[in-house]
Amino acid sequence: MATITESFHSESAQAFTFPLQTKAFVVQEPKADFALTTITLDEVRPDEVLVEMKYSGICHTDIVLQQGLLPMVDFPAIFGHEGAGVVRAIGSSVKNKSLQVGDSVLLSFTVCGDCKQCTSGHPAYCHSHPQINHGAVRRDGSTPGKLLDGRGVRSQYFGHSSFAKMSVVSEKCVVRCPYPESMGIYAPLGCGFQTGAGTILNVLKPQAQQSVVICGIGGVGLAAVMAAKYLGVQQVIAIDLVDDRLKLAEELGATHIINSKQDADVVKTIKDLTHGGANFAVDCTGVVPVIEMLIECIGPRGVAATVGVPPPGKKIQIDPLTFLLENKTYVGVIEGDSNPEVFIPELMELHRSGNFPIERLCKVYPIEKLETALSDLKSGSVIKPVIQF
């Protein structure tokens, strides 16, 4: 079959011929650059969708991935996992019958759809999660993307690999977006914002008279702050090392802020503020001493959640006697334990009602400025960079 080059700026529905030639940011090996590279995409399989990417959020995980720090990731690969775009072709057995060519969609993680976790409403813990999301391949191990020399390129990170102009994605990661004009700020709902908000709204579910400590004030932490504010939680305590971020947390709903660089005893400060320990704590840093500190900060029957990704192989120390006497819980939370098909539309409505002002966190960069966007994320000068294709 002939290889064609897609008309990238075309808005009209058109028939695509496969293999389809397109461009993507390919990372050839750990620590190599995100290099704009011509690739080809195989034909859309029955359960896949061809998406023309319009925006992609950038998540800290993308940097961790490029550095080769996640063991289940192989190279060459295309990362990016907060995509937003337009449907250009639909596989013959896609189950979402309302999905049409031309629809605007947001892309999130993918799932197998039939394991015990998927069928009991907790798809973030799908038994195949590591392979199909981080392995960036289909369930049979194949990948739709190829380099021009014929080598496969892992091109379904989170089912969709959004650092690509066009992507053949798993239907399971596709969520319809009825608000195409807002896709630039909705793209990060697929990972970062869903993770922070979901940890509060789906997992911890604090009540108004309770207290929540949130440590690590990036996109995930601020989404958690906004969700806690939305629930009217009495004490929302934000912790970070950067004053500007803490100030933003305060504007978005934190009732107390703590710069842990300037506070010699954060645990005591929190215990004093909450009269004996917080009800809930959320770690968005993945840093082991921070996690241990947050577990100390919670009071009797308190729950501490890890949301940030700790380096593989690290261990945390807990004091089991305190856990026993105080009935503490420590829990890991992936993607806010959300079902994206249900939760992302809820977050879009929350935003539209003014209760989830994520536009305050996003900065859009043209695709040529990916490196600038990445370095702004690394330096912390921007909370949530989004690239626009």
Of residues 53, 65, 46, the one with CA closest to residue 144: 46
Q: What six digits make up the tokens of 353?
A: 């009602």
Quote the tokens at residue 350.
């929350």
Nearest alpha-carbon partner for 74 in 163, 129, 143, 25: 143
Q: Are 251 and 357 in contact, with CB atoms under 8 Å apart? A: no
- For residue 220, the minimal CB distance to Zn ion (Å) is 8
Query: Per CB under 5 A, which region of 51-59, 100-108, 179-187, 344-352 contacts Zn ion?
Result: 51-59
Nearer residue to Zn ion within complex by CB, 52 or 335: 335
List the one residue out of 61, 53, 167 whose CA is nearest residue 384.
61
Nearer to Zn ion, 126 or 214 (CB): 126
Which of 186, 163, 138 lies closest to 37 in space, CA to CA?
Answer: 163
CB atoms within 10 A of CB 20: 23
Size of the chain, expressed as the number of residues it contains: 389
DSSP-derived secondary structure for 107-125: E-----SSSHHHHTT-GGG
For residue 108, CA distances in Å to 16, 38, 56, 153, 244 come to 24, 24, 11, 20, 29
Output 170 or 210, the one with its CB closest to Zn ion.
170
Question: 49 or 59: whose CB is closer to Zn ion?
Answer: 59
CB of 240 closer than 8 Å to CB of 256: no
* Closest separation in Å from C-beta 57 to Zn ion: 8
Identity of the residue, 158 or 356, whose beta carbon is nearer to Zn ion in the bound complex: 158
Nearest residue (CB) to Zn ion, 215 versus 266: 215
Please report, as residue ranges, which positions from 167 to 226 form the binding site for Zn ion (by CB under 5 A). 191
Buried b (16+ CB within 10 A) or exposed e, 132-169: bbbbbbbeeeebbbbbeeeebbbbbbbbbbbbbbbbbb
Q: Which is nearer to Zn ion, 111 or 224 (CB)?
A: 111
Closest contact distance (angstroms) between CB of 111 and Zn ion is 5
CB 121 to Zn ion: min, Å:
11
Q: Give the nearest distance from C-beta 214 to Zn ion in angstroms.
A: 17
For the segment 278-307, give every residue that binds Zn ion (CB under 5 A): none
Nearest approach, Cβ of 115 to Zn ion (angstroms)?
3
> Of 55-74, which residues contact Zn ion (CB under 5 A)?
59, 61
Comparing CB distances to Zn ion, the nearer of 187 and 191 is 191
In sign, the C-alpha dihedral spanning 103, 108, 112, 116 is: negative
How many residues make contact with Zn ion (CB under 5 A)?
A: 8
Q: Show the binding pattern over residues 26-45: x = contacts Zn ion (CB under 5 A), - = does not.
A: --------------------
Closest distance between Zn ion and the C-beta of residue 31, in Å?
19
CB of 162 to Zn ion, least distance (A): 11
Binding mask 103-122 for Zn ion (x = CB under 5 A): --------xx--x--x----
126 contacts Zn ion (rule: CB under 5 A)? yes
Q: Name the residues that contact Zn ion, by CB under 5 A.
A: 59, 61, 111-112, 115, 118, 126, 191
